[in-house]
Amino acid sequence: MHRLTVELADRSYPIFIGQGLLGRSDLLVPYITGKQVCVVTDDTVAPLYLERLRHTLDGYKVDHVVLPTGEAYKNWATLQQIFDALLARRHDRGTTLIALGGGVIGDMTGFAAACYQRGVDFIQIPTTLLSQVDSSVGGKTGINHPAGKNMIGAFYQPKAVLIDTQSLGTLPDREISAGLAEIIKYGLIRDIAFLDWLELNMPALRALEPGAITEAIARSCAIKAEVVAVDEREGGLRAILNLGHTFGHAIEAHQGYGQWLHGEAVGAGMVMALEMSRHLGWLSDSDCQRGVAIVESAGLPTRPPTDMTSEDFIRLMAVDKKVLDGQLRLVLLRQLGEATVTADFTAAALDATLRKEYS
Amino acid sequence: MHRLTVELADRSYPIFIGQGLLGRSDLLVPYITGKQVCVVTDDTVAPLYLERLRHTLDGYKVDHVVLPTGEAYKNWATLQQIFDALLARRHDRGTTLIALGGGVIGDMTGFAAACYQRGVDFIQIPTTLLSQVDSSVGGKTGINHPAGKNMIGAFYQPKAVLIDTQSLGTLPDREISAGLAEIIKYGLIRDIAFLDWLELNMPALRALEPGAITEAIARSCAIKAEVVAVDEREGGLRAILNLGHTFGHAIEAHQGYGQWLHGEAVGAGMVMALEMSRHLGWLSDSDCQRGVAIVESAGLPTRPPTDMTSEDFIRLMAVDKKVLDGQLRLVLLRQLGEATVTADFTAAALDATLRKEYS
């Protein structure tokens, strides 16, 4: 088992990574202060892991809420189901929410914990590769608004994160690829050595070889934790974690949430960021192609949807949270392993990227 | 003009109190970092003060949202109107929300600011006496749930609070009395000298004599600021600010939000807390009667609704946020000027209080 700590002063918390952790009550008990627990999960994950977790929580007063699966339900109406359940079962300020599921469940449960009675404890048990390497670290919680993704939310840190790599065994290949998108992102923005490692280990990762997958998750979480420790509320550095996300969010919004997986949209979005960095002369053709090849080797799309125009992108990116005073800012690459958040790019480079002039 | 500071480390903020502050752009400008501002107000306050504030904000890109008036609208659907307006007008993370109105507007605007893009700045301009002495200090924000008041919310501090005592001139007497309930509360829980002062100055306060009203607001905010500085997130001491509120919330819930004013329910609730403290032998008959007389002199109800039974109270108080592990806790008085939060009371004393056995 790996253990790492996200360092955020009095909001610091541990991440445990290993096989079979869902059965380890000794890892959970120190982070539950009251007697009440409410497990929030979805109708895909519940049949697989809910009973096992309930068994691990023997001795607590455990309630659970099973939500419909998918990004399309990451909205207020679904969040309200959590509040309704907590109030109906008289959960008080001493309760602990446990998010058992992917990123949508983690984001909604975290936001519910942030808002319920103005804040209660929560623990994350992410069950998808994407959520294990992304939402486990950093405390971003929230829901979507029809006008934009994650527009309503809070920065709110969990008390602990439990990553059981066995839960990846039930994931479709497409979801593994989606998780690999975020893993590749960490290499691209900050760690060229990790990128080298990923090129060598991609087949092992796609086959879920335990040693490789644990290593990839631990390195990803460590890179994210390092960035978040410097900039918890995304005043500056933290925005580099959004490589590919401004383009990716536009793709998701255009296709309708839930059609492209988030990681797939980020995969295509990272390729757009690589290509735009090349158009700006920051990346060589070969470095750009190397980046694109890694994305492709993970089984991810490397092109945006054919039916999306430049105008679609411009319109949908205008509501990005990185827009400041009307100025679009993008995460681009100065070189492989070094990202920057900038508004300092030519309109021509953006235009060529959106018109899909790729190498 | 009085100025005081709520001391909360990097979340500290100033409160300005005086006549005509709504026209003082010099007090607002230092607390607005971007170019975008969105004023949130209601259809009672908008016709009175919105244009004046817009004039004071000359030079900014000012949008506004006018919500329906009243506690009955303190819900998600109304909050959504704020998010819709912000997104429709492309407000980004650098925007500043300004709450112009009473406690409902302050609570909803603060919660919208806490959640919009995971947190933007906000400034409070409370226009009712109750909101000036209560929600100006402490950062409690939120909305109601059908099952309980303020069940969904956040602790989120404003950048500054501007209290213009001139705005009290348009308030009905009933709302002045409601504000006086919270002012009396500060004396009862923590400051016997302030209670003495209130007994002498009650006629001047009800007549809105400027010197008296400014003094009462400043002392109330100072007492609340002192308590909140010790305990921002209501782990302990801060709960004493809820004197009369557990009973009061039950009254509001029973009557339907918006029938009794919050301050009126707190007035009757404080009398119940005084009477219960007397039943416990903590207050003498004469001290209890003195407390009740002050509440009465402010023009407040001193009895709960005649149609509310013991059972109604028990049922409605069970969802109070001070309930921990199923145990009801109440704010009671050890003596006038000294409150305590306790579960250590006899069932008989609670029962006598709920059965309305008053002195």
Per-position DSSP letters for A63-105, written without gaps between them = EEEEEPPSGGG-SHHHHHHHHHHHHHTT--TT-EEEEEESHHH
Taking residues A289-318, report their average pLDDT: 95
- Does the pLDDT of residue B311 top 70, yes or no? yes
Pure H helices in chain A: 25-28, 51-56, 76-88, 103-115, 129-133, 173-190, 192-206, 210-230, 245-255, 262-279, 285-297, 310-317, 347-354
Q: Give the pLDDT mean for B174-202.
A: 97
What's the pLDDT at A256?
80
Q: How much is the pLDDT for A77?
A: 95
Distances (CA, A) of A90 to A311, B151, B318: 49, 12, 8
Instruction: Check pLDDT > 90 for residue B166.
Output: yes
Residue A333 has pLDDT above 70, yes or no: yes
Interface subset of B 125-144, CB within 8 angstroms of A? 140-142
Residue B77 pLDDT = 95
Residue B257 confidence (pLDDT): 67
Return the CATH number of B2-170, one of 1.10.357.10, 3.30.2040.10, 3.40.50.1970, 1.20.1090.10: 3.40.50.1970
Query: Tens of pLDDT along B229-247?
Result: 888 887 788 999 999 999 9
Does the structure show a pLDDT above 90 at A129? yes
Mutate to test the interface with B, among A117, A145, A233, A314 (most CBs of B within 10 A): A117
Strand A330-335 versus strand A121-126 pairing type: unpaired
Strands B36-42 and A160-164: what pairing? unpaired
> Do A173-354 and A2-170 have the same topology in CATH?
no
Note whether B35 contacts A: Cβ–Cβ < 8 A. yes
Question: Is residue B11 over pLDDT 80?
Answer: yes
Q: What is the pLDDT of residue A131?
A: 95
Segment holding B63, helix H or strand E: strand B61-67
- Give pLDDT, residue B231: 86
The predicted model gives A265-278 an average pLDDT of 97
Spatial contact of A298 and A304, defined as CB atoms under 8 Å apart: no
Contacts B92 to A, Cβ<8 Å: 321, 323-326
Angle at A52 between CA A51 and CA A56, to 5 degrees: 115
pLDDT surpassing 80 at residue A311: yes
pLDDT above 90 covers a percentage of chain A that reads 87
pLDDT range class, residue A6, cuts 50, 70, 90: very high
Q: Tell me if B151 and A116 make a contact (CB, 8 A cut-off).
A: yes
* pLDDT value for A257: 66
Helix, coil or strand: residue B214: helix
Ramachandran area for residue B184 (φ above 0: left; ψ -120 to 50: alpha; else beta): alpha
Q: Which of A233, A234, A325 sits opposite B92 (nearest CB)?
A: A325
Interface residue A281 vs chain B (CB under 8 A): no
pLDDT of the residue at B96: 98
Domain spans of chain B?
A: 2-170, 173-354
pLDDT in tens, B89-109: 999 999 999 999 999 999 999
Residue of B nearest to A35 (CA): B325
Give residue A351's pLDDT.
Answer: 94
- What is the C-alpha to C-alpha distance for residues A5 and A13, in angstroms, rounded to an integer? 6
Does residue A324 have a pLDDT over 90?
no
Q: How do strand B140-145 and strand B148-155 relate by DSSP bridges? A: antiparallel
Q: Beta strands B121-126 and B96-101: pairing type? A: parallel
Q: Which of A127, A122, A126 is nearest to A112 (CA)?
A: A122
Query: Quick one: pLDDT band at residue B256, thresholds 50, 70, 90?
Result: confident
B229, containing H or E segment: helix B210-230
Mean pLDDT of chain A: 94
The pLDDT assigned to B318 comes to 85
Do the Cβ atoms of A88 and B147 come within 8 Å?
yes
Give the DSSP letter string of B102-156.
SHHHHHHHHHHHHHBTT--EEEEEE-SHHHHHTTTSS-EEEEEETTEEEEEEEE-
Question: Dihedral (C-alpha) B58, B60, B63, B65: value to the nearest 10 degrees?
Answer: -70
- Name the residue among B146, B119, B12, B83 with its Cα closest to residue A114: B119
Residue A42: pLDDT over 70: yes
The model's confidence at residue A99, banded by pLDDT at 50, 70 and 90, is very high
This complex has an ipTM of: 0.87
Q: Averaged over A283-311, what is the pLDDT?
A: 96
pLDDT (tens digit per residue) in A52-89: 999 999 999 999 999 999 888 999 999 999 999 999 99
Average pLDDT of span A27-50 = 97
Q: Which residues pair with A99 in a beta bridge?
A: A40, A124
Q: Is the pLDDT of residue B321 over 80?
A: no
Give the neighbor-by-neighbor strand order of the sheet with A36-42: A2-6, A13-18, A160-164, A121-126, A96-101, A36-42, A61-67
Best CATH choice for the domain B173-354 from the list 3.40.640.10, 1.10.1510.10, 1.20.1090.10, 3.40.190.10: 1.20.1090.10
Residue A325 to residue B80, Cβ atoms within 8 A: no
Whole-structure pTM value: 0.89
Specify the pLDDT at position A245: 94
Contact A93 B154 (CB under 8 A): no
Alpha carbon distances (Å) from B10 to A39, A74, B6, B229:
34, 32, 11, 12
Q: What is the pLDDT of residues B16-57, one digit of tens each?
A: 999 999 999 999 999 999 999 999 999 999 999 999 999 999
A34 touches chain B (CB under 8 A): yes
Cα separation values, A273 from A19, A262, A334, B119, Å: 35, 16, 11, 27
Could you tell me if A35 lies within 8 Å of chain B, comparing CB atoms? yes
Q: Give dist(CA B129, CA A195) in Å, integer.
A: 61
Question: Does A323 have pLDDT greater than 80?
Answer: no
pLDDT of amino acid B71: 85
Predicted pLDDT at B338: 96
The reported pLDDT for the residue numbered A104 is 94
Give kind and range of the element (H or E) at residue B332: strand B330-335
The band of A319, judged by pLDDT with boundaries at 50, 70 and 90, is confident
Rounded-to-integer distance, Cα B239 and Cα B233, Å: 9
